[in-house]
């Protein structure tokens, strides 16, 4: 195999990696990237890196070819309780303050996202910390979702088996309490493992905040030593989306070396004795959804609000549409307060039941979501969207085979369901069945290629055709 390469070769591979992952290799990192390229070229059996490059762009090549390259360039080095100073801040300040705030709000739910989780040490460290902080952890609904673009790292994270090197910053008593020995390795105990959901996600290409991905209304986002690999525009874009994903008052914690000056100005930067974190401010006023030319602003409700004046001609309102707006703007509890009374009036409405289930699932309340979907299927056993929701709930709770079964059942009822094809394709991709995944994505392409980009697909959390086309271009590359 020829190992020679030119600057043009480097730039082509750099652009490919940047497009697929968002990671940008500066000229100073040329040798690092090209060593990976040369290794993957040899492993894949190509005589020259240019043959390898052509194969990466060929639809006839092995679909796992680019996935293996992505796995090679996104390997992250991490360990439990990394950066002691940040963990002290979490344990002594940020997480206790979050728990107090939740109790004051009458809530027992905590939602945390570990973005760029690598092999899982960070989210498991979070789970351990919360279990020790809360004590009676069964009284709380803790939802920790951990995502990464590297599928091999995610598979390792789900297994939860680690060498001694992963514990170089872990107190020995925690290793004894939360891990069981396995020859010369250690596996994290099941009660901790069950607290974390691992899912693939590309911070650049995938959609978030997203109910479908379970990434929304987060109390805390950790994204440490990830943004440093992106260019400035990507960092700004991702931090804006982080802000949208946080609840008001939610925290964002980055790594020590991240370019904090590029983080969205919508987030408030806080310096706690030299440690930097960000917080989404709590709004002091609520701006209603209304036409741009309308200037009025609605102030927060007083403790006992006066009754609003009735309009001279009450407009026709769609309670489901209003609830969707509330849900999309992070006000799921308000949406449920409006929808649940409608569901008890005795008139069956499949869209109503579906939306209630979707809101519960988006809040991590999968048991409640399942109950409403079960009621929906009892009344309408041929509802395709219900099977899609069942598949998503099963996937989110770690039951992948069950998720596949629900998706197949839904497609048996409607082989042209665009979002079910996407769901099944993502499940096949997750389980390594790349050719089946590709078949699903190509079927989707055929169904949407002539639709306008602004066409909305779905009954609950709707997705535009343009977003689906962008996703498919990445998945089928």
Fold of 7-73: Chemotaxis Receptor Methyltransferase Cher; domain 1 (1.10.155)
Q: Which pLDDT band holds residue 240 (cuts at 50, 70, 90)? A: very high
Span 455-467, mean pLDDT?
Answer: 73
Q: What is the pLDDT of residue 1?
A: 54
Q: What is the pLDDT of residues 168-196, one digit of tens each?
A: 889 899 999 999 998 889 999 999 998 89
Q: What is the pLDDT of residue 46?
A: 85
Q: Which pLDDT band holds residue 290 (cuts at 50, 70, 90)? A: very low
As a three-state string, the secondary structure of the chain is CCCCCCHHHHHHHHHHHHHHHCECCCHHHHHHHHHHHHHHHHHCCCCCHHHHHHHHCCCCCCCHHHHHHHHHHCCCCCCCCCCHHHHHHHHHHHHHHHHHHHHHCCCCEEEEEEECCCCCHHHHHHHHHHHHHHCCHHHCEEEEEEEECCHHHHHHHHHCEECHHHHCCCCHHHHHHHEEEECCEEEECHHHHCCEEEEECCCCCCCCCECCCCECCEEEEEECCCHHHECHHHHHHHHHHHHHHEEEEEEEEECCCCCHHHCCCCCEEEEECCEEEEECCCCCCECCCCCCCCCCCECCCCCCCCCCCCCCCCCCCCHHHHHHHHHHCCCHHHHHHHHHHHHCCCCCCHHHHHHHHHHHHHCCCHHHHHHHHHHHHHHCCCCHHHHHHHHHHHHHCCCHHHHHHHHHHHHHHCCCCHHHHHHHHHHHHHCCCHHHHHHHHHHHHHHHCCCCCCCEECCCCCEEHHHHHHHHHHHCC
- pLDDT more than 90, % of the chain: 20
Cα distance from N-terminal residue to C-terminal residue, the chain: 25
Span 147-155, mean pLDDT?
Answer: 85
Q: Which residues contact 124 (CB under 8 A, 6 or more apart)?
A: 80, 160, 188, 192, 193, 196
Q: Which pLDDT band holds residue 76 (cuts at 50, 70, 90)? A: low
Q: What is the pLDDT of residue 299?
A: 36
Q: What is the pLDDT of residue 176?
A: 94
Span 274-295, mean pLDDT?
Answer: 60
Q: Choose between 293 and 200: higher pLDDT.
A: 200
Q: What is the pLDDT of residue 44?
A: 82
Q: What is the pLDDT of residues 373-419, one digit of tens each?
A: 888 887 788 888 888 888 888 888 778 888 888 898 888 888 888 98
Span 116-143, mean pLDDT?
Answer: 88
Q: Which of 426, 469, 475, 477 is nearest to 447 (CA)?
A: 469
Q: Which pLDDT band holds residue 31 (cuts at 50, 70, 90)? A: confident
Q: What is the pLDDT of residues 161-174, one digit of tens each?
A: 999 889 988 989 99
Q: What is the pLDDT of residue 108?
A: 86
- For the chain, what is the radius of gyration of the CA atoms? 24
Planar angle of CA 247, 281, 209, nearest 5 degrees? 30
pLDDT over 50 (residue 71): yes
Strand 141-148 with 196-200, pairing: parallel
Q: What is the pLDDT of residue 459?
A: 64
* Domain extents in the chain: 7-73, 84-279, 320-475
pLDDT over 90 (residue 126): yes
- pLDDT more than 70, % of the chain: 86
pLDDT over 80 (residue 288): no
CA atoms within 13 A on the CB side of 328: 11
Q: Choose between 139 and 137: higher pLDDT.
A: 139
Residue labelled with tokens 């769901």: 423
pLDDT over 60 (residue 438): yes
Q: Domain 84-279 is classified in which CATH homologous superfamily?
A: Vaccinia Virus protein VP39 (3.40.50.150)
Q: What is the pLDDT of residue 77?
A: 67
pLDDT over 60 (residue 298): no
CATH of domain 320-475: 1.25.40.10
Residue 468 near residue 418 (C-beta atoms within 8 A): yes
Q: Which of 143, 144, 148 is nearest to 119 (CA)?
A: 148
**Overall pTM surpassing 0.85 (yes/no):** no
Q: Is the peptide bond before 437 cis (omega within 30 degrees of 0)?
A: no
pLDDT over 60 (residue 469): yes
Span 20-37, mean pLDDT?
Answer: 78
Q: What is the pLDDT of residues 313-360, one digit of tens each?
A: 344 467 777 777 776 666 778 888 888 888 766 567 888 888 888 888
From CA 129, how far away is CA 110, in angstroms rounded? 13
Q: What is the pLDDT of residue 477?
A: 66
pLDDT over 80 (residue 239): yes
From CA 117, how far away is CA 158, in angstroms rounded? 11
Sign of CA dihedral 200, 13, 1, 60: positive
Q: What is the pLDDT of residue 121?
A: 93
Q: What is the pLDDT of residue 311?
A: 44
- Tokens read off for 442: 């190509």
Q: What is the pLDDT of residues 301-319, one digit of tens each?
A: 334 444 444 444 344 467 7
């Amino acid at each position: 195999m020829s190992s020679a390469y030119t600057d043009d070769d480097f730039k082509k591979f750099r652009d490919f990696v940047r497009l697929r992952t968002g990671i940008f290799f500066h000229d100073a990192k040329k040798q690092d990237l090209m060593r990976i390229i040369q290794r993957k070229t040899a492993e894949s059996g190509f005589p020259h890196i240019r043959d390898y490059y052509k194969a990466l762009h060929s639809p006839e090549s092995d679909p796992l070819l680019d996935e293996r390259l992505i796995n090679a360039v996104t390997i992250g080095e991490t360990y439990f309780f990394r950066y002691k100073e940040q963990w002290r801040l979490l344990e002594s300040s940020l997480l206790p303050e979050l728990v107090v705030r939740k109790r004051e709000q009458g809530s027992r739910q905590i939602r945390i996202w570990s973005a760029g989780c690598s092999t899982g040490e960070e989210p498991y460290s979070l789970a351990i910390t919360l279990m020790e902080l809360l004590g009676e952890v069964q009284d709380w609904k803790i939802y920790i979702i951990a995502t990464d673009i590297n599928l091999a790292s995610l598979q390792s994270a789900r297994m939860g088996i680690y060498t001694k090197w992963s514990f170089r910053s872990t107190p020995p008593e925690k290793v004894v309490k939360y891990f069981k020995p396995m020859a010369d390795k250690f596996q994290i105990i099941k009660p901790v493992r069950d607290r974390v959901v691992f899912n693939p996600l590309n911070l650049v290409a995938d959609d978030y905040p997203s109910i479908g991905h379970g990434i929304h209304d987060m109390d805390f986002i950790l994204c440490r030593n990830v943004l440093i690999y992106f260019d400035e525009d990507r960092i700004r874009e991702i931090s804006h989306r982080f802000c949208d994903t946080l609840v008001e008052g939610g925290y964002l914690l980055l790594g020590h070396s991240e370019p904090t000056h590029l983080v969205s100005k919508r987030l408030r930067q806080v310096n706690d004795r030299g440690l930097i974190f960000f917080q989404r401010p709590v709004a002091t006023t609520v701006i209603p959804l209304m036409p741009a030319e309308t200037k009025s602003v609605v102030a927060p409700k007083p403790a006992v609000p006066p009754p609003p004046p009735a309009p001279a001609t009450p407009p026709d309102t769609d309670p489901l549409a209003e609830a969707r707006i509330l849900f999309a703007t992070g006000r799921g509890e308000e949406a449920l307060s409006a929808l649940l009374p409608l569901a008890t009036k005795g008139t069956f409405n499949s869209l109503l039941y579906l939306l209630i289930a979707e809101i519960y699932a988006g809040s991590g309340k999968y048991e409640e979501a399942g109950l409403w979907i079960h009621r929906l299927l009892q009344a309408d056993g041929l509802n395709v969207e219900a099977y899609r929701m069942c598949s998503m709930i099963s996937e989110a709770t770690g039951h992948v085979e069950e998720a596949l079964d629900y998706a197949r059942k839904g497609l048996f009822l409607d082989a042209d369901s665009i979002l079910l094809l996407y769901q099944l394709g993502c499940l096949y991709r997750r389980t390594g069945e790349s050719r089946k995944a590709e078949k699903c994505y190509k079927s989707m392409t055929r169904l949407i290629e002539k639709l306008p980009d602004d066409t909305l697909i779905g009954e609950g959390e709707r997705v535009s055709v343009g977003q689906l086309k962008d996703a498919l271009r990445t998945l089928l590359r």
